[in-house]
Amino acid sequence: MKRLLILFAIIVVGVISSHWMSSVVASKMYDSGSYGLAQGAWNVSLIAPFGNDFAVHYNIGNAEYQKGNWDEAIERYSKAINSDDLNIVCPALYNWAQALVKLADGNLANNEFENAIGRYSKALSLVSRQSCVNTEEYQQQFEDLGEEIEEKIDEAEQAAGEDEGDDEEGSQQERETDAEVEQEIDNIEEEVDQLRRSDNTNRSDETRGRDEYNVIW
């Protein structure tokens, strides 16, 4: 029994050491800019019983963010915010909001105004969490990002309004063009009718002239 306890203790220590070493190695890789390798090392450290290590999810989220994988980063941040530690929750919320802003910027560049506004609004709600806004450490960062996002929402709404205005102006121009074309067609048809009437009149006069000539002759 004693041997089993010792063996179990050795396994536990080994697992904990492996988890700690993986996290240390991952941190060094991340700091050196090797985000993919860092992510791999952190994934190793998530092996049971550390599968719900919120700090590791946050770190993997950061690695995904650095690689420009905004959706994957958001997925990790959404797990990290389940932590009870505000020092994990608040940075995760902040970075989650920034990832949403990156996605929304792409939507805005492609004139996908509804998607852009939706993502900006979601990001704004994340940085409005009172649990973080009311903390001295994170308050200023959250307020600054919130103001930046509000400006982006205004920009997107203005662009959406201008786009609708352009559509309406374009439709008006199309209607005016259609009306001009229809008028031109009417004018052409009127000219054709006049030519036909004139031709018929000339033909009638020629026929009458020949009849009168024949009679005289």
Determine, yes or no, domain membership for 24: yes
Distance (Å, rounded) from C-alpha 49 to C-alpha 86? 22
Tell me if 190 is assigned to some domain.
Answer: no
pLDDT above 80: residue 15: no
- Is there a domain that residue 213 lies in? no
131 within a domain of the structure (yes/no): no
pLDDT of residue 136: 87
Segments forming the whole domain that contains residue 66: 1-75
- Cα(82)–Cα(88) distance, integer angstroms: 9
Confidence band of 104 (pLDDT split at 50, 70, 90): very high
Q: Three-state DSSP class for 49?
A: coil
Within a domain: 35: yes
For residue 83, being part of any structural domain is answered with no
The DSSP code for 128 is T
Reported for 20-25, long-range contacts at CB under 8 A and 24+ positions apart, including other chains, are: 23/56, 23/59
Report yes or no on 55 lying in a domain: yes
If phi > 0 it is left, if psi is from -120 to 50 it is alpha, else beta; for residue 34 that is beta
> What does the pLDDT average to over 136-143?
91
Least confident residue range of 111-115, 153-157, 171-175: 171-175
Between 211 and 44, the higher pLDDT residue: 44
Is residue 195's pLDDT more than 90? no
Q: How many domains does the chain have?
A: 1
Q: Taking Cα atoms as reference points, which of 41, 35, 40 lies closest to residue 20?
A: 41
CATH of residue 1's domain is: 1.25.40.10
